[in-house]
Structure 1
Amino acid sequence: MKTLTALFTAAALSVAATAALADVPAHEISALEKAGTVQPLQKLAETAKAKHPGSTITDSELENEYGRYILKVELRDAQNVEWDVDLDAKTGEILKNAQDK
């Protein structure tokens, strides 16, 4: 019985962790922008690109991490170096600016 309880507990924790870290579906982004919950993603993407002039965005996603919206942007600069830039989607603050390894 203890094993069964432990399995249910582990499963519940796994589901809770997944719910706390979730990609925001594309159809919800416009409503978040209109409500002022997040800044326009185009503006945030330009902020990320400004950190690496001449770069291009190769991927991006908006995530809800424990109630905080984070825009994760992957860039490739003019020297073909890849960068990961994470921004607080509400404030525009750069939370991470690291070379992708």
Structure 2
Amino acid sequence: MNRLTAFCIATLMVIGTGLAQARDLSATEAQKLLDAGTILPFDQLNAAALAKHTGATVTDTELEEEYGKYRYKVDLRDAKGIEWDLELDAVTGEVLKNHQDT
């Protein structure tokens, strides 16, 4: 492998790594997405998460963009004190992940 080929491969790997990372969205960015109707309202997303764990409370939320998709991450604590991590599609409200926090 010549130096130019090795350099190109290394550059593409670095660029690819940067693109694959999730990016937290600011409150301003989130508001623009809400106003445009791109993502569901946060109370609706929270309700979808809470429906999975009756009696739980929301302890933290986060909106991220990853691979061009918007993900809403919700941390819950149920009535027994067990913590849950959920991830929802912020556009459709579909629960993508629902697992106990370890």
Q: TM-score, normalised by structure 2?
A: 0.84
Q: For the pair shown, which has the larger CA radius of gyration, 1 or 2?
A: 2
Q: Deviations over 1:53-90 (max 9, x none)?
A: 11111111011111111101010001000111111111
> For 1:13 and 1:84, how far apart are their aligned partners in 2?
27
Does residue 62 (structure 1) correspond to residue 63 (structure 2)? The answer is yes
| SS of 1:12 mapped into structure 2 | helix
Q: Percent identity?
A: 46
CA contact (8 A) 2:20 2:67 kept: no
Corresponding letter in the other structure for 2:59: T
Judging changes above 3 Å, is the alpha-carbon distance between structure 1 residues 9 and 67 closer, same or farther for their aligned structure 2 residues?
closer
Equivalent in the alignment of 2:15: 12
Equivalent in the alignment of 2:53: 52
Matches within 5 A, 1:1-101: 1=3, 5=7, 7-18=10-21, 21-101=22-102
Stretches of structure 1 lacking an aligned partner (at least 5 in a row): none
> For 1:30 and 1:49, how far apart are their aligned partners in 2?
22
> For 2:55 and 2:27, how far apart are their aligned partners in 1?
27
| SS of 1:58 mapped into structure 2 | strand
Q: TM-score, normalised by structure 1?
A: 0.84
Corresponding letter in the other structure for 2:99: A
> For 1:9 and 1:69, how far apart are their aligned partners in 2?
25
Stretches of structure 2 lacking an aligned partner (at least 5 in a row): none
Superposition RMSD on alpha carbons, in Å?
A: 1.8
Q: Aligned residues, how many? A: 99
